Structure 1
Amino acid sequence: MPNSLPDCPTAPHQLRYAYNTNGASNHRLGDALTLIAEAGYDGVALTLDHHHHDPFAPDFAGRNAQLASQLRELNLGLVIETGARYLLDPRQKHEPTLLAPSATGRARRVEFLIRCLDVCAACEGETVSFWAGVPQPGVEKNQAWDWLLEGAHQVAAAAHERGVVASLEPEPGMLVETVDDYLRLQAAVPSLRLALDTGHLLVTEEREPAAAVREFAAQIGTVALEDMRRGVHEHLPFGEGDMDVPAVLQALRDIRFAGLVCVEMSRESPRAHLMIPQSLAYLRQAERQLPTA
């Protein structure tokens, strides 16, 4: 799906919202999808995990087909998220990454990301979002960057083979931390789109979120939106941090962003049944208050 549309002077551009299942981890996936659809979202940001469509469980193809059918029935679009904490290693959060010192570890991460691309292709999703990882102690930054380039090229090639968009997410504390780091990587792997988490911009304080939306309009593959305090990497419900949500929504309207805007409330699983509808209501109310011209 294209991320921008021709200008239409007669009506404001309608944004499309998704909810990330990492904020509904106490619910069965089917129940979470139903709650998301019933609340009125246009899609789901599905964080593949051991309890939510495990990509390493048996009957992978059959389960992909079943998921695709369920998404069609619920009229939900799809973004695949890859930030599961202990899916690959039960003892180390997020490991192994594309920067793992072990070639076997890096290959494990690439295998996982390719399976994520397979899910996205089977379900006709919009993109797969992934991040670089944190260099292990003792690993030189240049070596880590070389490993990242190797893995990113593999992921990009697999995405191209499947007709899927791969998007790299800058993540505070990781090797690719800022949007400028993303630009450096994209210069070497041109097909990589940007998975722009607007809250992360408040953490790194590299750019104002709305300004970044406009600056990177041509590169954005997906957007994550939540509240966050400046300098603190903690996903918060809307209204509890420093995010200028109306300004971000206005910027997304201005660039006529057509992809899913993904609400990421990763700490809110215990009250997901409340947070799912409340978050969308907040966004719709904020949209209604934006100028119409």
Structure 2
Amino acid sequence: MTRSEAEPDHRGGLRWAYNTNGLSSHRLDDALELLADHGYAGVALTLDVAHHDPFAPELARRTAALADRLRGLGLGSVVETGARFLLDPRRKHHPTLVSADAADRARRVAFLRLCVDVAADLGSEAVSFWAGVLAPGLDRDEAWRQLLFGVAAVTEYARGRGVTVAVEPEPGMLVDDLDDWSALQAEIPDVALALDTGHCIVSGRWAPADAVRAFAPQLGAVAVEDMPRGVHDHRAPGEGDMDLGAVVSALRAVDHRGLVSLELSRDSHRADRLVPEAIATLRALEAP
């Protein structure tokens, strides 16, 4: 019997997941079965051209079928929204909530609302999204006002669908670090935190484990990976400067119950090795 045919067994520890942006050479169903067979508790589903394209026909039917498949494999989910060229095939991550053009910003809001619909129908734990890079020539204060407008619109819509929305601080974006997120959350209290612990050694004043402890009540989604200090480069465990053991210990100390996702978007070509190796490494770090 394969892992996917058995009852879920997450050993009472952290609930590890893997982001499908690191499985882009796999069909989605094959990727999900791979994760289940290696003992993952869930998937961070990046809606993209190859994996559950939200703009392809029959989205509701496909989402219902995917929800059944996830249940059958014993996998939870979070919905990720960082696809590179889904909205514009010529401009990476365009448009954003802080694009200069109002129609572009509205298009991003509409996309995020659609992601909320998918998350609601899947029973996902959260929808994670980021602010975007400040557009050239756009005043930061004006961009911040536009960001608040967009995040509030998505949050209000998600509230009506019973979905948690979590904003992720991304190095180089308008919400760059945890202090920026705190300023955002002060204006929009319903928004949760999507914490990528690797980003903490690139931007901001918070050490990764300290961030987990300080922001535990606000965590809506969590991602881990290795990363070189000061360089936004997602790497497999053991290939950067992260103290992953400290992060794992902090997550256990705060009794984090949500999924904890590995995001290795540049490593789809070796996912067959990284999927089993990464969870083995992380579970070893959990051992007393």
The match for 2:202 is 203
Does residue 32 of structure 1 match 2:28? no
Say which SS state the counterpart of residue 204 (structure 1) adopts. coil
The match for 2:167 is 168
Q: Deviations over 1:61-81 (max 9, x none)?
A: 111101101100111000100
Kept in 2, the 8 Å contact 1:170–1:196? The answer is: yes
Q: Which amino acid aligns with 2:83?
A: A
Does residue 241 of structure 1 match 2:245? no
**TM-score, normalized by length of structure 2?**
0.95
Q: Deviations over 1:85-135 (max 9, x none)?
A: 000001110000001111111111011101111111001010000000001
Taking the aligned partners of 1:278 and 1:114, their CA distance within structure 2 comes to 35
Taking the aligned partners of 1:100 and 1:136, their CA distance within structure 2 comes to 6
The match for 1:23 is 22
The match for 1:227 is 226
Taking the aligned partners of 2:162 and 2:136, their CA distance within structure 1 comes to 36
Taking the aligned partners of 2:24 and 2:254, their CA distance within structure 1 comes to 33
Taking the aligned partners of 2:205 and 2:94, their CA distance within structure 1 comes to 27
Spell out structure 1 runs of 4+ moving beyond 6 A: none
Taking the aligned partners of 2:130 and 2:249, their CA distance within structure 1 comes to 27
Say which SS state the counterpart of residue 202 (structure 2) adopts. helix
The offset of 1:143, in angstroms, is 1.0
Taking the aligned partners of 2:135 and 2:153, their CA distance within structure 1 comes to 21
Say which SS state the counterpart of residue 17 (structure 1) adopts. strand
Q: What is the correspondence of 1:1-293 to structure 2 with a 5 Å cutoff?
A: 14-288=13-287, 290=288
The offset of 1:252, in angstroms, is 0.5
**TM-score, normalized by length of structure 1?**
0.93
Kept in 2, the 8 Å contact 1:64–1:122? The answer is: yes
Kept in 2, the 8 Å contact 1:13–1:253? The answer is: no
Give the paired residue count: 278
Q: Deviations over 1:180-204 (max 9, x none)?
A: 1001001111000000000000111
Q: Which amino acid aligns with 1:51?
A: A
The offset of 1:205, in angstroms, is 4.7
Taking the aligned partners of 1:277 and 1:104, their CA distance within structure 2 comes to 43
Taking the aligned partners of 1:54 and 1:142, their CA distance within structure 2 comes to 34
Taking the aligned partners of 1:82 and 1:215, their CA distance within structure 2 comes to 25
Say which SS state the counterpart of residue 77 (structure 2) adopts. strand
Taking the aligned partners of 1:206 and 1:65, their CA distance within structure 2 comes to 42
Say which SS state the counterpart of residue 113 (structure 1) adopts. helix
Kept in 2, the 8 Å contact 1:21–1:45? The answer is: yes
Kept in 1, the 8 Å contact 2:177–2:204? The answer is: no
Q: Which amino acid aligns with 1:37?
A: A
User: Structure 1: which 5+ residue stretches go unaligned?
Assistant: 1-11
Percent of pairs with identical residues: 56
- State the superposition RMSD in angstroms: 1.0
Q: Which amino acid aligns with 1:40?
A: G
Q: Deviations over 1:233-291 (max 9, x none)?
A: 00011011111111111100110000000011111100111111111010011111x3x
Taking the aligned partners of 2:17 and 2:104, their CA distance within structure 1 comes to 31
Kept in 2, the 8 Å contact 1:167–1:195? The answer is: yes
Q: Which amino acid aligns with 1:244?
A: D
Kept in 2, the 8 Å contact 1:118–1:162? The answer is: yes
Query: Residues 13 and 68 from structure 1, CA distance in 2 versus in 1: closer, same or farther, beyond 3 angstroms?
Result: closer
Say which SS state the counterpart of residue 217 (structure 2) adopts. coil
Kept in 1, the 8 Å contact 2:14–2:256? The answer is: yes
